[in-house]
Structure 1
Amino acid sequence: MTQTVVVLTEDTLLDTDVAQIVETYAGRDVRFEVLVPADTDHNVLQEVVNDLGLLDLRRLWHDITNPDPDERAARTEATEALRLSLALLEAAGATADGVVVGDDPLPALTQAVSNHRAAEVVVVTSPKLLDDTLRRDWASRAREALGVPVLHLYTGSSIVG
Structure 2
Amino acid sequence: MSDPIVILTEEPLGPDDRVNIESLVAGGDAPLVILVPANTERHLLVDFLENLSLLEISKAFRELTARSDPAGERAEAAETLAFSLAALGGLGGGVSGEIVEGKPVEGLVAKVKELGAGQAVVVTRPHAIADTFHTDWANKAQDKLGLPVLHLYAGSGFIGDS
Scaled by the length of structure 2, what TM-score is found? 0.88
Q: Where do 1:21-32 residues align within 5 Å?
A: 21-32=21-32
Q: Quick one: structure 1 residues 14 and 68, their matched pair in 2 at CA, closer, same or farther if it must change by over 3 Å? A: farther
The CA RMSD over aligned residues, in Å, is: 1.8
The equivalent of 1:38 in structure 2 is: 38
Distance 1:83 1:56 in 2: 32
1:16 aligns with 2:16: yes
Distance 1:140 1:40 in 2: 16
2:58 to 45, 61, 66: 61
The equivalent of 2:142 in structure 1 is: 143
- Specify every segment of 5 or more residues in structure 1 that has no aligned partner in the other structure, as ranges: none
**Matched-pair contact (CA < 8 Å) for 2:125–2:153:** yes
1:73 aligns with 2:91: no
State the identity %.
Answer: 36
Distance 2:147 2:76 in 1: 29
Distance 2:144 2:99 in 1: 20
The equivalent of 1:48 in structure 2 is: 48
Moved more, 2-11 or 64-73: 64-73
Q: How many residue pairs end up in the alignment?
A: 157
SS at match of 1:3: coil
SS at match of 1:113: helix
- Specify every segment of 5 or more residues in structure 2 that has no aligned partner in the other structure, as ranges: none
The equivalent of 1:109 in structure 2 is: 108
Deviation at 1:156? 1.4
